[in-house]
Structure 1
Amino acid sequence: MTTRTGLKRQRVAAACAKCRSLKARCDGVRPVCGRCSGYGYNCSWPENSSSRDFRQSTPTTSSWLRKDTIQYRRHVIQSFRELAATIQPVLTDVERTSVESSINCIENHISDSNIFTEPQGSPERDLNAGYDKLNAPLTRNASYTYVGKASDIHFFNAVKESLQEEIEFSDECATEKSPETDFAISNYNQHSPVSVAGPFDTQPAFPEPDVVIKYLDIYFSTIHIAYPFLSREYLESKYRALRGNSIVAEDCSSVAILYLIFAIGSYYLSYPRFGSSASQQHLIYFEKAMIFSAQVKSQCTLENVQMLLSECFFLLAICQTDRCWNTLGMAIRMGQSIGLHVENAPSSKPSSKVNPFEVEIRRRTWYSLFVLDRLLALQLGRPFAIQETDFAVPLPSRASSDWSVEDELSSQTAEPSVIDYFLRVIEFSKLLGKVIRELYVPTQEESSLGSMLASTSALDQELLAWKFDLPRHLRFDLGHTFEKDIRFKRQRNMLAIKFHNLRSMVHRPYLGLPWFQAKNTALMESIRGLEAMVEESERICVSEARATAHLLHSIEDEQALVHDFPWWQMISCLICASSILFVASTVVCKPQRRMDPDPSTYADDANTCIKVFEALSARSDAARHATKMMQSLTELRSLPENSNERRYSAASINQTLLGVDSTVAQPDVPFEGPPDWNLAMDLVALTHWSNEASDSVL
């Protein structure tokens, strides 16, 4: 048998945790390896297998404590709660709340104790764990989650990969490159799952009525005006009935919904008062909601669907998007189980006995599932759970959110209604589905780029028609002087974010195409004759990204951003916009290009998004990760100047092939195109597009 000869790679007994996470070579020097020392990382070392085996075979007091720490902790906390339950009947509401807070403090103290530290991989963690990680460097995610071509993360990684390919041309850059730029990011989730440890409390300690009113005001003036599937009157009556009384199994869903609304309201109130004593209260409320929801999640009821929907919005607020995706999937399946997707389900009551308000709330709940499903599919680049052909439910009425008889009668009038927004967003969500199906499906690489341009033109016209068809009080492109209803202002902000984000994504496949596809000579040759169409899409994409950034110019503080804009999708939209603006300022808007004559304006708009991330990062782990992501692109762009040579050469390829005119300046407003503009007008020319062209950003 022949033996392979050659230099043998020197191996070390074990690599440090940081080098292992980066898949980098470690020299094995302890306590700090050379790589971590050079880059200033925290160097930690995992336990080796031999030492683990030895400890497992040698029982000690310490190992016994670690083995039984979960049971021991539960026993201690349960003892305290049982003791408190014996005295709660004679306590006032204030005293009962104080006792509950004391028990929570004891629970947190035990969780923080070194001797009772959970083993690695335990599902129970401290409630504050997410915020303890805010100052940690950006590292590879613990688990990979799929993001598709429509996702802002996918586009960000494509931009980063193109920059890194440029850097590889320079040996000097290769030595100065930071390891933090070596890996792709799959999400910016907050990786701190909230624990659900704790017994079922039959007498929950609700907040005081004035606090509850404040929480309800926040929820029903922010999330509810976009997803009107709950009734405030019903929730207030439930709160009065349950406060101070024992809870039975039938009440668990209502209690969970109330706690989820308390959690959302508490989280919204935490801005901008960073580091306050109540900054973690929303996590405590959420933990209580999970305890009650765990009792009934196996039951398919309308109230449980609403409970899961409420949970989704809290998870979106704290940027646990993957967990929200899974929770929404359960809610959709549960809704289909009780027939929400059809108007006359076989298991429903006869039509003569059906309460009209119950019918209305079923419709609004179903369409809330539908709209949120499309939103998450766009944000994550994943398939829909609900197809239009799989349900037959009439649209909700224009009656107000609490569905009184007067509102039902007045729903036929032409007066502005808060529900008008919901009806328009349902239409928008159907259009969003067409965008994903025609431009961002996984099989898109097999499609002709010519057909993509035709689809882009048709979709753009539909999107513009949707905007122009909005009722006057929802037109975000018109003035609304002296308007007193803050709800309409917030709804216009939501529509503006949605419109500018989706329109930029409709045209994003053509942004910097020669830069992303510099090696695809077949594509470069096939562009000839269609330069104007490509540049038109490129210009619209950048203009819409700038419009997204300009929406932030009038924001006074962090609390205004959280309350007046759709917080549950802002980070995703801003990452998309800032990535587009980064490409525009780096590649597209070179001095010779027929774009904005002042490229610094693009960078300034991108910095606006980054400033928002920085302002929110003290309370949002996801905002902090977003800041790191955009800063990493800036660092790559600022590496040695010789790496810019290829960037300019890519731009020159674009200029040569597309035949641009550098003397024409473009407007600094969202471009809507002339009335007769149509990318599909030259169908003969489109047939010459190459089917071989493919791109990770298309």
Structure 2
Amino acid sequence: METRGKEKRTCVSMACMPCRNRRSKCDAVMPTCGSCRVHNTEAACHYNPDKDLRTKGALRKLLVDYGKEKRTSDFILRSISQGSEADAAAVVQLLRNNNKPENYSDIQDQVVRMLHSGGNIEVVSGPIPSGESEPMSVLTLDASQTTSSQSRHYGATSNLAFQGDELGLSTNEPAGEVPNWTTVTSDTELIDHLLKVYFTWSHPFHVLFSEECFHHGMGEKQRKYKYCTPLLMNAILAVGCCYSDRPEARKNPNDADTIGDHFFEEAQRLFAEVPDEASLPIVQALGLMSLRETMHNRVSSGRKYISLMSSMVAELGLERPPTPDRRISDAEVEVRKITFWGSFALETASAMWLGRTPSPLKPTGLGHPKLSPDLENVLWKPFGTPNYDGGETELAQPSRKYGVLLQLCFLSGIVNDFLNDFYSSRSGLTFEQSCLHHEKLQKWRVDLPTALQIKDDGITLPQIITLQCVKSAPFGLSVC
């Protein structure tokens, strides 16, 4: 019987992946090579020419991939170096959230979509890995710390620390350098004046939004309406009119009762036109509209806007920290905290002045705004007073506005509990309850930082005086 000689193995230039891994000879038979049949690895037998760097095609593809990665890296670096601070924070967070190599191929498209959406990371699909903490802090509320989980905030090691003076976010920024945000007037000098008096006399105590983020949003060449909107701007100007003695601050220059009416009516019109959805600027604007109506002794109207504000706060879930699966920028996390605590303090104060039970909405695991020495030491100057021309003055001193907000958070919690106990019973507070609340208020006063106490031998900031008035108000109720 004629025997057949052993066939010579065909010389192949490419081996399947299992043969490459075990360094065995491969006959390159498709779909399964002989070696894989012997080693029972038929299921894993496949060929990947892109991994074989001996071929020109694989080398060419490798060079193309390297070129694409370099272009993506250059684009991202330009986005960070040339974009706004809020955009830089959002891009860096996006990079840290997409830390898997397989996600790098489409990272540039994600950055483009995110920047076109106004820096909102929520537009990018995919969950944030559980347990991942926010790496940056927008307002540098504590240069040695970072916030967990939206805001706005750059940490000390990010080289993007948000300093108001470095970014030109001073309250002295001329309104004429940005597009008009109101149709009421085109007088940018008047708008600049109203913004200055608002941020001097109202905002340091009623902090409903981040002043730094607001000025940043107002100065953007392309409006993103994330931190500054026409509705919020007109609400601010309406409140600012209450601190101005200019005839232009009145709808009818000859009628003092119409002060701020033109800006407030514009805010009402814009609020009626907004879509049926909640947002941070709308919450902030509603709080200001309530404050303005209360200042004009229109209590029922002010209460209406307070109720709308509280409902929208609950709708947005501002009373609790964002869940880990939500893609929210670090800046927005801090703005959310500032907005909630400002709204909570305003609602509690309204309940105290009107003599009623406050809203049941309370913080659920939400932290307080943290302090930054850089922002606390921004000078307060008495803009709008007759003898002040805008220059240097001996009255200038650190504004302490976020320190006031932090203490107002603590104080509002105490007053809120007091009001609930006081109005929940027809007989009022018992002696034991009165003593308990009195001890809490006294402890708050003792723990108050020296910088926030009334000075015996100097000028005390108006927001600090107002803070002390809020502390004393519950005593009057308990006596009555």
TM value normalised by structure 1: 0.36
What does residue range 289-438 of structure 1 map to in structure 2 within 5 Å?
289-296=267-274, 298-345=276-323, 348-349=326-327, 354-388=328-362, 391-399=364-372, 417-438=400-421
Residue type of the alignment partner of 2:335:
I
CA shift for structure 1 position 347: 7.0
What does residue range 456-467 of structure 1 map to in structure 2 within 5 Å?
456-467=434-445
Residue type of the alignment partner of 1:309:
G
CA shift for structure 1 position 239: 5.0
CA shift for structure 1 position 367: 0.7
Task: Let me know the Cα RMSD of the aligned residues.
Answer: 3.6
Residue type of the alignment partner of 1:370:
F
**Alpha-carbon separation, structure 2, partners of 1:240 and 1:469:** 39
Preserved contact between residue 438 and residue 452 of structure 1 (Cα < 8 Å): no
SS of equivalent residue, structure 2 residue 301: helix
CA shift for structure 1 position 238: 5.2
**Alpha-carbon separation, structure 2, partners of 1:401 and 1:504:** 37
CA shift for structure 1 position 458: 2.2
| Structure 1 gap ranges (5+) | 1-200, 405-414, 509-698
How many equivalent pairs are there?
278
**Alpha-carbon separation, structure 2, partners of 1:401 and 1:332:** 31
**Which structure carries more helix by proportion?**
1
* Aligned residue among 265, 268, 277 for 2:254: 277
**Alpha-carbon separation, structure 1, partners of 2:461 and 2:347:** 24
| Aligned: 1:255 with 2:222 | no
**Alpha-carbon separation, structure 1, partners of 2:233 and 2:463:** 24
**Alpha-carbon separation, structure 2, partners of 1:506 and 1:427:** 20
Task: For residues 128-159 of structure 1, give each alpha carbon's deviation from its aligned partner in whole angstroms, at most 9, with x where no partner exists.
Answer: xxxxxxxxxxxxxxxxxxxxxxxxxxxxxxxx
CA shift for structure 1 position 284: 1.0
Preserved contact between residue 373 and residue 386 of structure 1 (Cα < 8 Å): no
Preserved contact between residue 253 and residue 307 of structure 1 (Cα < 8 Å): no
Q: Give the equivalent residue in structure 1 for 2:456.
A: 479
CA shift for structure 1 position 215: 0.8
**Alpha-carbon separation, structure 1, partners of 2:317 and 2:401:** 27
Residue type of the alignment partner of 2:450:
R
Preserved contact between residue 253 and residue 303 of structure 1 (Cα < 8 Å): yes
SS of equivalent residue, structure 2 residue 229: helix
| Aligned: 1:211 with 2:190 | yes
CA shift for structure 1 position 384: 2.0
Cα 1:263/1:326, change in 2 over 3 Å? same
Q: Give the equivalent residue in structure 2 for 1:517.
A: none
CA shift for structure 1 position 395: 0.5
* Aligned residue among 261, 265, 269 for 2:240: 265
Task: For residues 281-312 of structure 1, give each alpha carbon's deviation from its aligned partner in whole angstroms, at most 9, with x where no partner exists.
Answer: 51011111111121116211122212212212
Residue type of the alignment partner of 1:277:
N
Preserved contact between residue 416 and residue 473 of structure 1 (Cα < 8 Å): no
CA shift for structure 1 position 364: 0.5
What does residue range 163-174 of structure 1 map to in structure 2 within 5 Å?
none
CA shift for structure 1 position 383: 2.3
Cα 1:311/1:364, change in 2 over 3 Å? same
What does residue range 517-528 of structure 1 map to in structure 2 within 5 Å?
none
* Aligned residue among 255, 260, 264 for 1:286: 264
**Alpha-carbon separation, structure 2, partners of 1:271 and 1:374:** 32
Preserved contact between residue 181 and residue 230 of structure 2 (Cα < 8 Å): no
Cα 1:402/1:308, change in 2 over 3 Å? farther
Cα 1:464/1:348, change in 2 over 3 Å? same
Cα 1:330/1:394, change in 2 over 3 Å? same
Residue type of the alignment partner of 1:440:
Y
Preserved contact between residue 345 and residue 412 of structure 2 (Cα < 8 Å): yes
**Alpha-carbon separation, structure 2, partners of 1:206 and 1:237:** 22
Preserved contact between residue 399 and residue 417 of structure 1 (Cα < 8 Å): no
Cα 1:305/1:387, change in 2 over 3 Å? closer
Task: For residues 357-394 of structure 1, give each alpha carbon's deviation from its aligned partner in whole angstroms, at most 9, with x where no partner exists.
Answer: 21111000011111111111112222222344x62210
**Alpha-carbon separation, structure 2, partners of 1:491 and 1:319:** 21
**Alpha-carbon separation, structure 2, partners of 1:240 and 1:465:** 42
SS of equivalent residue, structure 2 residue 430: helix
| Aligned: 1:490 with 2:462 | yes
**Alpha-carbon separation, structure 2, partners of 1:237 and 1:343:** 24
SS of equivalent residue, structure 2 residue 183: coil
**Alpha-carbon separation, structure 1, partners of 2:243 and 2:331:** 30
Cα 1:480/1:364, change in 2 over 3 Å? farther
Preserved contact between residue 260 and residue 311 of structure 1 (Cα < 8 Å): yes
CA shift for structure 1 position 492: 2.2
| Structure 2 gap ranges (5+) | 1-179, 378-397
- Report which of the two structures shows the higher radius of gyration computed on alpha carbons: 2
**Alpha-carbon separation, structure 2, partners of 1:322 and 1:401:** 40
CA shift for structure 1 position 402: 6.9
CA shift for structure 1 position 251: 9.0
More relative contact order, 1 or 2 (CA 8 Å, 6+ apart): 1
CA shift for structure 1 position 355: 2.8
Residue type of the alignment partner of 1:395:
H
**Alpha-carbon separation, structure 2, partners of 1:419 and 1:457:** 30
SS of equivalent residue, structure 1 residue 268: coil
Q: Give the equivalent residue in structure 2 for 1:506.
A: 478
Preserved contact between residue 421 and residue 474 of structure 1 (Cα < 8 Å): yes
**Alpha-carbon separation, structure 1, partners of 2:421 and 2:238:** 38
CA shift for structure 1 position 461: 2.2
**Alpha-carbon separation, structure 2, partners of 1:235 and 1:416:** 17
Task: For residues 334-374 of structure 1, give each alpha carbon's deviation from its aligned partner in whole angstroms, at most 9, with x where no partner exists.
Answer: 1222221110247731xxxx432211110000111111111
SS of equivalent residue, structure 1 residue 371: helix
- How much identity, in percent, do the aligned residues show? 17
Preserved contact between residue 308 and residue 331 of structure 1 (Cα < 8 Å): yes
Task: For residues 582-630 of structure 1, give each alpha carbon's deviation from its aligned partner in whole angstroms, at most 9, with x where no partner exists.
Answer: xxxxxxxxxxxxxxxxxxxxxxxxxxxxxxxxxxxxxxxxxxxxxxxxx
Cα 1:383/1:498, change in 2 over 3 Å? same
CA shift for structure 1 position 439: 2.8
**Alpha-carbon separation, structure 1, partners of 2:287 and 2:260:** 17
Preserved contact between residue 266 and residue 282 of structure 1 (Cα < 8 Å): yes
CA shift for structure 1 position 278: 6.9
TM value normalised by structure 2: 0.51
